[in-house]
Amino acid sequence: MSDPIDRLLDAAESGKLIIKNRESLHFSYKPEIILHRDSELEQVTQSLLPILKKSRPSNLLVYGKPGTGKTLVVRRVIDKIQARVEKSNFPIILVYSNSKEETTLYGLLVNLGIQLGLNDRELPSTGLAISEVFKRILNKIKKEKFNAIFVIDEIDYLAQLVVKTGKDILYQLTRANERLEDGGTLTLVGISNDLTFKEKLDPRVISSLGEEEVVFTNYDVGQIKKILEERINESFIENSVDEPAVNLIAALAGGEHGDARRAIDLLRVAGELAERHQSDTVTIEHVREATQKIEENKEEKSLKSFPLHEKLVLLAIMKANGSSTGEIYSSYKNLCKVIGKDGLTQRRITQMLSEIELSGIISGRLIHQGIHGRTKKFKLTISSEMIKKTFKEDLTLQDIV
């Protein structure tokens, strides 16, 4: 039997690779051609246009379901404006930041400030009050007479950070302009895929952030297919993705709400699997295998992110002699004893079961027991192999999995 490493290297060398440009399948890739989004591209451009006429654009709220091209479209408009600004001497500055990538409100503001040209002495990465960081950002805009556009992507996460820190920063950001007077302007562009986001905001924030709104509609299956075909041209060698495979990806990603990100993820994983199997083409089977793999990765990631006692509860469900809350609790207590940790109260565990249920990893069912009242029974919705495999990597749990 040949050496597995050599076998793979041979295959790579003998040219059995069907992906010619891997980068264009990466999530951060910005395709040259943006299909089906002319109206959204126009609306976003229209809204920001005043900046080129040296006046302040209205704040803008962009929203739509995940994978509908919001980040792509807004970044494209910003890049194009930026390219023109570089040729003029009017001080326009465009900054982009993704709230999901920051863990604190402080971090997000510092990130924006650094992009405005503040250095780490003027804006140290810790130690100032939030209001002070904000003041320094505004002072910079005033001093340089900047016409600034802050794009805050996944702004719903910022709203969450704000709730945690209890600062009124979103409100202040949307109204910053009033504090600038003649010294520059600040426009806020917020992007969100949480359609209920608006309902959660303070009405004062909505009215100023949503001065203008662009809503991204869902792609239909046909549109997703066109996007896929375009991407296949860029990234695969000719005729290496079967038509039925493209149709299946489009149907899977387009079926629910037209998520282009899911479509491209599926395409990438299916392509990699096809190469691994040394196939000349991507087939429906590769797509099926890809959906399964993506699903498993998601489960694994969500399992890994659980804190210790949640993990113990999942193991307890796996090992319990029955599925009622009481049975799960006694199995949990046992596991705690084995690894030498104090167990939490039954009340807390009951509550935890409901929380885990929300993540979809377990499902619960109320059972009526006549005069004995009712009890809730739980079972895992994922395989116990997946739990074993994932928790084996956790040093504390290794011995009890």
Ligand X SMILES: Nc1ncnc2c1ncn2[C@@H]1O[C@H](COP(=O)(O)OP(=O)(O)OP(=O)(O)O)[C@@H](O)[C@H]1O
Do the Cβ atoms of 83 and 215 come closer than 8 Å? no
Closer of 178 and 295 to ligand X (Cβ): 295
* Residues 23-52, mask of contacts with ligand X (x by CB under 6 A): ----x---x--xxxx---------------
CB of 185 to ligand X, least distance (A): 26
262 near ligand X (CB under 6 A): no
User: In this structure, what DSSP letter does residue 93 have?
Assistant: E
| Inter-helix orientation angle 221-235/260-276, to 10° | 40
261 near ligand X (CB under 6 A): yes
The DSSP string of 10-67 is HHHHTT---BS-GGGGSTT---S--TT-HHHHHHHHHHHGGGGGTSPPPPEEEEESTT
Q: Three-state SS for 294?
A: helix
99 near Mg ion (CB under 5 A): no
User: In this structure, what DSSP letter does residue 90 have?
Assistant: S
69 binds, among ligand X, Mg ion, none (CB under 5 to 8 A by kind): ligand X
Q: For the segment 145-174, give every residue that binds Mg ion (CB under 5 A).
A: none
Backbone angles phi, psi at 195, to 5 degrees: -70, -15
Closer of 95 and 128 to Mg ion (Cβ): 95
Q: For the segment 57-76, give every residue that binds Mg ion (CB under 5 A).
A: 71
Q: For the segment 187-216, give every residue that binds ligand X (CB under 6 A).
A: 193
Q: Which stretch binds ligand X (CB under 6 A): 70-78, 117-125, 197-205, 242-250?
A: 70-78
CB of 71 to ligand X, least distance (A): 3
Q: Which residue has the tokens 């060398």?
A: 13
67 binds, among Mg ion, ligand X, none (CB under 5 to 8 A by kind): ligand X
- Quote the CA–CA distance of 73 and 37 in Å, as a whole number: 8
**Conformational region of residue 79, where left means phi above 0, alpha means psi within -120 to 50, and beta covers everything else:** alpha
Among residues 67, 113, 184, 258, which is the contact residue for ligand X, using CB under 6 A? 67
Q: Three-state SS for 388?
A: helix
Q: How many residues bind ligand X (CB under 6 A)?
A: 18
- Quote the CA–CA distance of 136 and 132 in Å, as a whole number: 6
Among residues 227, 241, 317, 352, which is the contact residue for ligand X, using CB under 6 A? 227
CB of 34 to ligand X, least distance (A): 5
Contacts with Mg ion by CB under 5 A lie at 71
Contacts with ligand X by CB under 6 A lie at 27, 31, 34-37, 66-72, 193, 227, 260-261, 264
